């Protein structure tokens, strides 16, 4: 990304100031750690976004019961984009930060690359090895800088599967048993063949959106949008090329409902049967339930994602970081360690359906043996656990969200405007390069 000369000067000054601040913060932090009284009254603020559900799962209440001197106050922002924009402003000013800040997967690479000094480095804690052992290696790696600093601990993840409508499959003459459905689409090519078979007898689309195919398959390979060093390579990525091939076929052949995910039409389409399949991370189950209510119970089931034997895919997940210069760093670290410990991650799954970022938690019987009656009794713990265990540490970068938006817009142009896949790819690549400053 190019910067103006003035921009470089400002950035350099800001970097120098940050380094000086970090140096001062280190001495202050050492003194604060030495003076830390875990029994002293303290109010901890936690900045979150969306529905992270620590409160709904009862974890804040439980922690305060275990530590009567601690009061927890959550500052939640509904939309993650608005939350992160505000966080960036406060990071730049090194002011107004909460004691604990949640960090969404779409922004963690930016924090790792540009704001690592602002957060506690968990790799320097005395129990760093134990902490690292709590998490999937790819989850720990997502919050770790190139020189080994780990700036946040993982909360949940979004291992993916494919949700499908049993009633619509039956009407179209497709199998409905989840084992038979898994055999129906061992690969994305086979999934597209199933889509063609489905739409030869149905007026409804097979999948909600080409984005459902693109955004899940792009992460199943060694690389998605970035090289091993986190530098964006959207025009050279084998993962992008492969995912574009599958998704553009679906868009060009009219196999998708071409809905904008999380838009009003998409929400309504769950209830009106406008599509039969959707790539679903673990957290999507709650979303589908919320859109269809009791009327959707038993209509859905879950099968592995196409191509799962070669590679799994993750969509979503978050982290908790502790600003290094906060007034209550040691108390905040204690709370973050507790909230992200395997025992609490099991509770987050059983109480609020957030799939763990901890392998130990995922293997706990409370998770591993879980079934979801709403989704026809699907063994969700086993399905998403296997997916999480097979996720690769695909390099992520600060511009992944913008790059993905560029390609999904291109796919929409194929479906709605009749743009050729080659032209749409060129257009998407130009938009992606503009987004990353190329």
17-26, 178-187, 419-428: least confidently modelled range: 17-26
Over residues 145-152, mean pLDDT:
96
Task: Return the number of other C-beta atoms located less than 10 Å from residue 353's C-beta.
Answer: 21
Query: Do the Cβ atoms of 250 and 213 come closer than 8 Å?
Result: yes
Q: What is the pLDDT of residues 226-244, one digit of tens each?
A: 998 889 999 999 999 999 9
Within a domain: residue 20? no
Within a domain: residue 18? no
Query: Do the Cβ atoms of 282 and 216 come closer than 8 Å?
Result: no
> Is 277 found in the same domain as 206?
yes
Within a domain: residue 343? yes
Over residues 44-52, mean pLDDT:
95
Is the model's pTM score more than 0.85?
Answer: yes
The whole-number pLDDT of residue 326 equals 95
> Is 390 found in the same domain as 242?
yes
Tokens standing for residue 381 = 């713990």
Looking at every residue in the chain, the average pLDDT score rounds to 91
> Is 425 found in the same domain as 330?
no
Tokens standing for residue 410 = 């291109």
Listed residue (340, 316, 329, 345) closest to 100, CA to CA:
329
Within a domain: residue 4? no
> Is 178 found in the same domain as 147?
no
Q: What is the pLDDT of residues 20-41, one digit of tens each?
A: 333 334 455 566 677 899 999 9
Within a domain: residue 31? no
Q: How many domains in the chain? A: 2
> Is 278 found in the same domain as 396?
yes
- Residue where a domain terminates, one of 369, 389, 409: 369
- What 346-349 contacts at long range (C-beta under 8 Å, 24+ apart), as own/partner pairs, is 347/57, 347/58, 347/59, 348/53, 348/54, 348/57, 348/59, 348/155, 348/156, 349/381
Within a domain: residue 245? yes
From residue 119, how far is each of 28, 75, 106, 116, 262 by CA, in Å?
14, 18, 18, 6, 32
Could you list the residue range(s) of the whole structural domain that residue 238 is in?
159-314+372-436
Q: What is the pLDDT of residues 56-90, one digit of tens each?
A: 999 999 999 999 999 999 999 999 989 999 999 99
> Is 282 found in the same domain as 163?
yes
The whole-number pLDDT of residue 27 equals 52
Over residues 136-142, mean pLDDT:
96
**In sequence order, what E strands does 221-343 have?**
275-281, 300-304, 314-321
Over residues 149-173, mean pLDDT:
97
> Is 277 found in the same domain as 174?
yes
Over residues 37-47, mean pLDDT:
96
- Residue where a domain terminates, one of 327, 343, 369: 369
- Residue where a domain terminates, one of 343, 369, 395: 369
CA distance 284 to 261: 12
Q: What is the pLDDT of residues 193-237, one digit of tens each?
A: 999 999 999 999 999 999 999 999 999 988 999 998 889 999 999
Model confidence at 306, pLDDT cuts 50, 70, 90, reads very high
The whole-number pLDDT of residue 29 equals 59
Model confidence at 289, pLDDT cuts 50, 70, 90, reads very high
The whole-number pLDDT of residue 33 equals 74
DSSP three-state, residue 314: strand
> Is 124 found in the same domain as 190?
no
Within a domain: residue 83? yes
List the CATH number of the domain containing 304.
3.40.190.10
Dihedral of CA atoms 147, 154, 73, 57 in degrees, nearest 10, equals: -170
Q: What are phi and psi of 156, to 5 degrees?
A: -120, 180
Over residues 279-294, mean pLDDT:
93
Query: Do the Cβ atoms of 429 and 435 come closer than 8 Å?
Result: no
Over residues 144-157, mean pLDDT:
97
> Is 232 found in the same domain as 214?
yes
> Is 290 found in the same domain as 320?
no
Over residues 299-315, mean pLDDT:
95
From residue 98, how far is each of 30, 168, 346 by CA, in Å?
20, 47, 26
> Is 202 found in the same domain as 323?
no
Over residues 320-347, mean pLDDT:
97
Over residues 140-158, mean pLDDT:
97
**In sequence order, what E strands does 308-367 have?**
314-321, 355-356
The whole-number pLDDT of residue 262 equals 87
Element (H, E) at 75: strand 70-77
Within a domain: residue 388? yes
> Is 138 found in the same domain as 58?
yes
Q: What are phi and psi of 130, to 5 degrees?
A: -65, -45
The whole-number pLDDT of residue 438 equals 64
Percent of the chain clearing pLDDT 90 (strictly above): 85
The whole-number pLDDT of residue 31 equals 61
Element (H, E) at 162: strand 153-165
| Residue written as token pair 């990071």 | 91
């Amino acid at each position: 990304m190019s910067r103006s000369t003035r921009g470089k000067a400002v950035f350099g000054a800001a970097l120098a100031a940050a380094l000086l601040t970090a140096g001062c913060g280190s001495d202050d932090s050492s003194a604060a750690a030495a003076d830390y009284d875990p029994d002293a009254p303290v109010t901890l603020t936690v900045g979150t976004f969306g529905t992270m559900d620590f409160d709904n799962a009862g974890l804040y209440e439980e922690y305060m019961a275990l530590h009567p001197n601690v009061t927890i106050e959550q500052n939640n922002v509904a939309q993650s984009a608005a939350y992160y924009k505000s966080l960036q402003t406060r990071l730049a000013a090194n002011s107004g930060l909460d004691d604990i800040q949640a960090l969404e997967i779409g922004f963690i690479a930016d924090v790792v690359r540009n704001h690592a000094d602002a957060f506690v480095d968990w790799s320097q804690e005395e129990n760093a090895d134990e902490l690292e052992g709590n998490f999937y290696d790819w989850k720990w790696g997502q919050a770790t800088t190139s020189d080994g600093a780990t700036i946040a601990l993982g909360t949940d993840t979004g291992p993916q599967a494919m949700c499908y409508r049993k009633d619509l499959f039956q009407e179209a003459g497709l199998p409905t048993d989840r084992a038979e459905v898994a055999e129906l689409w061992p690969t994305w090519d086979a999934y597209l063949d199933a889509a063609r078979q489905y739409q030869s007898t149905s007026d409804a689309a097979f999948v909600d959106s080409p984005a459902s195919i693109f955004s899940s398959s792009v992460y199943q390979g060694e690389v998605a949008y970035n090289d091993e060093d986190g530098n964006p390579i959207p025009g050279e990525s084998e993962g992008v090329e492969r995912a574009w091939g599958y998704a553009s076929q679906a868009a060009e052949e009219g196999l998708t409902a071409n809905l904008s995910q999380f838009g009003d039409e998409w929400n309504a389409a769950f209830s009106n049967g406008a599509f039969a399949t959707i790539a679903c991370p673990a957290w999507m189950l709650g979303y589908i339930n919320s859109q269809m209510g009791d009327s959707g119970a038993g209509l859905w089931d879950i099968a592995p994602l196409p191509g799962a034997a070669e590679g799994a895919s993750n969509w979503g997940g978050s982290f908790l970081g502790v600003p290094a210069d906060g007034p209550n760093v040691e108390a905040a670290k204690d709370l973050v360690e507790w909230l992200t410990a395997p025992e609490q991650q099991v509770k987050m799954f059983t109480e609020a359906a957030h799939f763990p970022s901890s392998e130990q938690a995922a293997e706990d019987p409370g998770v591993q043996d879980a079934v979801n009656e709403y989704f026809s009794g699907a063994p969700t713990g086993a399905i998403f656990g296997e997916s999480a265990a097979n996720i690769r540490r695909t390099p992520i970068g600060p511009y992944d969200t913008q790059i993905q938006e560029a390609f999904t817009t291109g796919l929409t142009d194929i479906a709605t405007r009749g743009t050729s896949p080659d032209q749409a790819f060129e257009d998407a690549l130009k938009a992606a390069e503009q987004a990353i400053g190329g």
